[in-house]
Amino acid sequence: MVISIRRTTAPPSQLVTAIAWISIIGSALGTFGTAVYLVLFTLAPGDVFREAAGYAADTHLPANVRFAMDHLQLFLVITLTGSAVMLITSIGLLRRQEWARTAFVWLLGFAIVSGLAGIIPEFRLAGVASFVAMAGISGAIIWKLCTARVREEFEAAEDE
């Protein structure tokens, strides 16, 4: 007599689906917008973008903003790469791929750490408030993606 045990799984979490779709839309817009900006920056003559932004070498700006303006093309390439990675990861999250769940958690953790690193030199109340809100939301998403129920959902999808 053979007894088979059928693995039952709960339906996919609507919160994970919502997180995935919001991330897909946001990262797709970010990828597209940054790609357009990078093409325009590459084709534009001289310092058109810096002049349009009112940036001059003697302008008093925070160090991180000055660095971004001085290395705008590098900043755009890094932003484009990050947006594309997040887009791919978000699609994997929607499809319940375990690698995507893990990568999404790491990306959100990186966002928290980099946000903290960016706020320390420019300790302003508005920056602190937005960082706390972003870190709180990201932390809640990380926690949700690491719960046993969500992990089981992704493991079950891998088995199919």
pLDDT in tens, 14-40: 999 999 999 999 999 999 999 998 998
User: How crowded is residue 23: how many other Cβ atoms within 10 Å of its Cβ?
Assistant: 21
Cα-Cα-Cα-Cα dihedral sign, residues 113, 117, 122, 123? positive
Residue 151: φ, ψ to 5°:
-60, -40
Mean pLDDT of the chain: 83
d(CA 51, CA 8): 61
pLDDT in tens, 107-143: 999 998 888 876 666 666 667 788 888 999 999 999 9
Q: Which two tokens stand for residue 14?
A: 């609507």
Q: Which residues contact 9 (CB under 8 A, 6 or more apart)?
A: 152, 153, 156
pLDDT: is 145 or 56 the higher one?
145
pTM, to two decimals: 0.78
